[in-house]
Amino acid sequence: MLASCLVFPAAWAANAPAGTAAAAAPGYRLPPAALQAVADAPSPPQLVLSRQREWGALLQTPPLPGIAEVAQPELKLAGLRIHPRTHSRSAFSFAQRLWLMRISDGQEVQIDGLPSPLSLSTVSWSPDQRYLAFNRVDSGSGANELWLVDVDAHRAWRVAEKLNTTADKGYRWMPDSRSLLVFLQPAGQGAAPADDGIPVGPAIQQTAQGAGQRSIRTYQDLLRNEDDAKRLEYYLATQPARIALNGHAEPVGVPGLYTDLAPSPDGRHLLSQRVERPFSYLVPLGRFPHRIEVLDANGRYEHEVARLPLVEGLPTGNDAVPTGVRDIAWRADAPATLVWAEAQDGGDPAREARIRDAVMVQAAPFEQPPQTLIELGTRFVDVTWGRGDLALVDEFWWKDRKIRQWRVAPDAPGQAPVLLSERSEEDRYADPGQPATFDDENGRARLFTDAQGQFLYFVGEGASPEGDRPFVDRLDLRDGQRERLFQSQAPFYERPRVPLDASGTQWLTTRESPDEPANWYVRTLGATDAPRALTHFAHPLPQLRGVQKEQIRYKRADGVDLTATLLLPPGYEAKRDGPLPMLMWAYPGEFKSAAAASQVTDSPYRFNAVSYWGPQAYLAMGYAVLNNPSMPIIGEGDAEPNDTYVQQLVADAQAAVDEVVRRGVADRGRIAIGGHSYGAFMTANLLAHSELFKAGIARSGAYNRTLTPFGFQSEERNYWQAQPVYEAMSPFNYADHIKAPLLLIHGQDDDNSGTFPIQSERLYAAVKGLGGNARLVMLPNEAHRYRARESIMQMMAETNDWLQQYLGAPSKAGASAKGKGKAASP
């Protein structure tokens, strides 16, 4: 294993002879003050609404956690990352402040009795909105607790200790709002299985001919041996209990390896899902054998729904699914009715079949066989419940990107479904939006209609050639006609969130503009008055107020229309200051049509959010940024997009470079390309197959596709079906062509499927061995997304040094004009 974090001074690096190993300087580095300010900028509070939208809970997340917190012990078992001391999922971003806001007038209310530190993980409103529950996880003390807040009294108190939240959030409100269903650590469980390092035997797997081809994706954090299996059983073991508001606990059923336990809307039944042996070394927990049962409210067995076997592989294709019961849940608008999907084609998209999925329903007391709600020609996605004569069912087929929405009458099974919409999932301009919902008296999401039940309401992004313009539509259920009630207008980006009254006239929205962050508003549809502000969140980086933002459009050589967001430092003028060094940051996407690939994305009126994670941070150093330039990979008809991946990728990048140079904002010889994950893969490919960029920055990518042989990203074919494609797309195979300097950054504990840390290690070794110019930074204790403040600072320092070393720092004259109010570059 390479050194955990290779660091050396930038000045030394510039003079180091080729092939010299980096000197390992101790400790983490800090970027310039202007970049530190970006990383430490406060994030806006989150708003969690109560059922009747009369109250909101505001949560404030603190600055980035330190490496000491991120580096705490962590178990990696069956795709889970578990904090062993707290019996919880590993998490490092907890809210440290909680308060209430009354939606009617925006008045904020403080809460007495909150714990310190708060360390709030999740929150949930009671159905009657009188109480707020939250989970407190404190790694320092090992606490995993359940707390309640009395809204009227503005007071908090603890009701349960020793929750188990390894596989679930650990608690749910019962429909009557008088108690909660909670996952507890079993009493008398004893110590975790000891790991003395002495194996009990080899780990053995076996397959046999005749089982058929199965697609086995690459997963991280899998079980490795029987010791791991025993540890998984220990940390998954849960005792369900019902906790009253005063903290009195009653056990519900017996301990088990529960992954879910959900009360029915009437509170009389529980839908239980438990993991069973045999476990697997190839797939994560969700593919293990599961037993699905219905229990009564006291945890006694009532009905077995299914026993699902271990699924260690699926047929080839993104439309492949397991056979048997899938996506099971309670019907929201009925007392106790189960609904689930079942594949009718063996889960195999290559098999000819008129019906792919059937949506089944079965009502308590579960004595009658399941009934078919609807048969679908493609895969079931979701169902949104309204009432006995109204529910919406969505289906989707990846191969042709077709998505359909049906109106069904759940209580009239003989009534034919009505097709409400059909389109390509890629066609953003034709997106009808998502149906608006409300939470009923049992806390279940239901379709929002007017008082007479004649209209549905839809909320969408409103993609258009002018950019995204969110909207509210009203659908007349009698004739299917739509009426637009609201659409965001310049110079704001205003997004409707939820209706506030029964008539659908008042809505809660968020509104923002390039220089004003998103705040919450109350808007009356159709009124000429401006919306009423509920919050007044300040600009987190006022020194970068005035960043210039433009949604630019240009064409690829073959005529495909492309878009990007061009960002320039405050005060910059192209004619006066000349072209700038530029950082271009992108992420490719696959499309089945050039028309879909050409559609405009984003909005010119969104807030200029400057985050440490994206490229915008380097505006603070005076660089120009081209964010999210279109990088479409198109395969129309029977063609597969990736068959011409490299050619299209280079054409996309060429068009972007030509456009920013034509505009006079970038110097052709001083442009860097970068990206994270699939964007890192793109970066390495562009350096290997073009001379467009002076340098590259690739974070947490995959570079050798033979290490992901059963598909990656949107590629359906396996390596043996499309070997030339896998090899042509792997920049590792062209490491000898990578001549521009390449900065590789990767989390040592990457948890993302396919982006194993060895991907960066091997590409670095290849470039080094071939005499190229590369730098590898492995961040200790970091996953696919970096979490510790020290890691973020290191990432920003490395990126800034790379840009300055190979693009050159923006001129001092230009920087002073561009960077008014910000810290100067070193």
| Phi-psi domain of 127 (left: phi exceeds 0; alpha: psi -120 through 50; beta: other) | alpha
Tokens for 236, please give them: 């998954």
- Tell me which DSSP letter residue 229 carries: H
Contact between 280 and 287 under an 8 Å Cβ cutoff? The reply is yes
The number of CA neighbours under 13 Å toward the Cβ of 808 is 12
d(CA 491, CA 390): 38
- Enter the tokens of residue 707: 């290490």
Paired strand residues for 774: 742
First and final CA of the chain: distance in angstroms? 33
Query: 338: which residues sit within 8 A by CB, 6+ positions away?
Result: 271, 294, 305, 328, 329, 330, 331, 361, 362, 363, 366, 370
Compute the distance between CA of residue 398 and CA of residue 542 in angstroms, rounded to an integer: 44
Q: What number of CA atoms fall less than 13 Å from residue 720's CA on the CB side?
A: 6
Give the full edge-to-edge strand order of the sheet including 493-499: 493-499, 506-513, 516-524, 532-533
Answer yes or no: 677 catalytic: yes
Q: CA 797, 803, 808, 809 torsion: positive or negative?
A: negative
Taking CA atoms, 17 is separated from 12, 20, 771, in Å, by 10, 6, 12
Active-site position among 179, 677, 700, 791 = 677
Tokens read off for 102: 């009354």
Distance CA 217, CA 136 (A): 35
Phi, psi (rounded to 5 degrees) for 654:
-60, -45
Active site residue 676: no
**If residue 36 lies in a helix (H) or strand (E), which one and from where to where?**
helix 33-40
CA–CA separation, 486 and 473 (whole Å)? 7
Neighbours of 354 (CB within 10 A): 8
Q: Could you tell me where the DSSP H helices lie in 322-438? A: none
750 is catalytic: yes
Can you tell me the distance from the alpha carbon of 611 to that of 750, in angstroms, rounded to the nearest whole number?
A: 21
CA distances from 188 to 192, 234, 238, 452, 659 (A): 12, 12, 12, 56, 67
CB 588 within 8 A of CB 631: yes
Check: CB of residue 135 under 8 Å from CB of residue 169: yes
Among the listed residues 811, 747, 809, the one whose alpha carbon sits nearest the alpha carbon of residue 10 = 809
Which one of 348, 473, 749, 750 is the catalytic residue?
A: 750
- 80-83 vs 493-499, strand pairing mode: unpaired
- Which residues does the annotation mark as catalytic? 677, 750, 784
